[in-house]
């Protein structure tokens, strides 16, 4: 059966087996995403939770109301409060203007990105239910982002990505590797705010074991790098989330055919149900 015209017009609408990815369409679905974020960020990763968050068992902030929320649903759990098994939060220029700033602006000077012509997209708050942390789920998330990128003609994809923990000694190798091998060109480079700036050059360049450094990178950061992504100058210690953040940037016309263009549906194609 062909999808309805309303379904065809959705920026993201892809089914893969028992998983469906699309944008949240109701406050209840946003709350389900926030509940997943609470489980992953607060309960699993040790992020600080306010009394209000703990009572609601949802992780949320003032940006949520201005963002779009990309959701992966397990159709076997349809109707359940736990049907959302993966999520990404997304914000374009117009929404950031309504909110007053992008989330990343609280950690980084992103003026070089904002000065770039065309639409930009900030992504963040990415998390996946423990039972669904496998390649197929991540591929579906990337495909959803690809659909969104092509629908809105996004030119720059960016956001804060995290290394686990706030121990700079433990993260010295991957931080140094990222600085020396994936630093963004000056015209696109975000820089950590002066009061938050942490030098990423933690060890001598010649002492960096590239394979060991890559193995220490979280899958999400590896994914951005595979897409041709870069990092900004400076890390930021996020004590609230118990992470060490870097700013990642992907210029979408750098992305290879293997990724966004491979996953994006053709302009004449319609999804089927």
Tens of pLDDT, residues 245-264: 999 999 988 664 556 666 66
Q: Is the pLDDT of residue 101 over 90?
A: yes
CA distance 19 to 4: 19
pLDDT at 125 over 60: yes
Domain boundaries, the chain: 5-263
Mean pLDDT is lowest, of 1-15, 58-72, 80-94, 157-171, for 1-15
Across the chain, the runs of DSSP E, i.e. the strands, are: 13-16, 19-23, 68-74, 84-92, 108-109, 119-128, 154-164, 191-192, 230-231, 236-238, 243-251
164-191 average pLDDT score: 96
Task: Give the 3-state secondary structure of residue 138.
Answer: helix
Confidence of residue 2 (pLDDT cuts 50, 70, 90): very low
Q: pLDDT above 70 covers what percent of the chain?
A: 90
E strand spans, 145-242: 154-164, 191-192, 230-231, 236-238
- In terms of DSSP bridges, do strands 154-164 and 119-128 run parallel, antiparallel, or are they unpaired? parallel
Distance CA 155, CA 219 (A): 23
Calculate the CA dihedral of residues 47, 50, 51, 53 and round it to 10 degrees.
-80
pLDDT tens figures, 53-76: 999 999 999 999 999 999 999 999
Q: What is the DSSP letter of 265?
A: P
From 3.30.830.10, 3.50.50.60, 2.130.10.10, 3.40.630.30, which CATH number describes the 5-263 domain? 3.40.630.30
The pLDDT score that the predictor gives to residue 213 is: 97
b/e map 137-155, b = 16+ CB within 10 Å: bbebbbbbbbbbbbeeebb
pTM for the structure as a whole:
0.89
Q: Do 150 and 264 meet the contact criterion of CB atoms below 8 Å apart?
A: yes
Q: What is the mean pLDDT of residues 22-46?
A: 96
27: how many CB neighbours lie within 10 A of its CB? 9
pLDDT band at 10 (very low <50, low <70, confident <90, very high): confident
Reported as a pLDDT band with limits 50, 70 and 90, residue 79 is confident
Residue 270 pLDDT class (50, 70, 90 cuts) = very low
- d(CA 105, CA 127) in angstroms, rounded, equals 21
pLDDT at 265: 53
Q: What is the mean pLDDT of residues 201-209?
A: 95
What is the per-residue pLDDT for 1? 34
- 179, 222 in Cβ contact below 8 A? no
| pLDDT greater than 60 at residue 269 | no
Beta partners for residue 161, in sequence order? 246
């Amino acid at each position: 059966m062909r999808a309805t015209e309303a379904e065809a017009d959705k920026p993201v609408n892809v089914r893969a087996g028992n998983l469906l990815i699309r944008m949240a369409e109701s406050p209840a679905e946003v709350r389900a995403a926030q509940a997943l974020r609470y489980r992953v960020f607060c309960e699993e990763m040790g992020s600080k939770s306010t009394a209000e968050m703990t009572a609601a068992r949802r992780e949320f902030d003032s940006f949520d109301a201005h963002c779009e929320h990309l959701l992966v649903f397990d159709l076997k759990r349809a109707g359940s409060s736990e049907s959302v098994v993966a999520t990404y939060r997304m914000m374009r220029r117009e929404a950031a203007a309504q909110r007053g700033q992008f989330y990343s602006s609280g950690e980084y000077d992103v003026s070089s990105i904002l000065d770039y012509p065309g639409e930009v997209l900030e992504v963040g708050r990415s998390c996946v239910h423990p039972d669904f942390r496998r390649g197929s789920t991540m591929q579906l998330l990337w495909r959803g982002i690809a659909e969104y990128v092509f629908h809105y003609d996004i030119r720059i994809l960016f956001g804060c990505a995290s290394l686990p923990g706030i121990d700079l000694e433990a993260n010295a190798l991957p931080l140094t590797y990222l600085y020396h091998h994936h630093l963004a060109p000056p015209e696109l480079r975000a820089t950590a705010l002066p009061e938050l700036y942490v030098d990423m050059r933690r060890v001598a360049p010649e002492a960096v074991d590239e394979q060991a450094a890559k193995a220490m990178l979280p899958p999400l950061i590896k994914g951005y790098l595979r897409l041709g992504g870069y990092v900004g100058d400076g890390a930021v210690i996020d004590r609230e989330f118990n992470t060490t953040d870097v700013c990642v940037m992907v210029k979408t016309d750098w992305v290879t055919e293997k990724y966004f263009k491979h996953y994006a549906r053709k302009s004449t194609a319609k999804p089927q149900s």
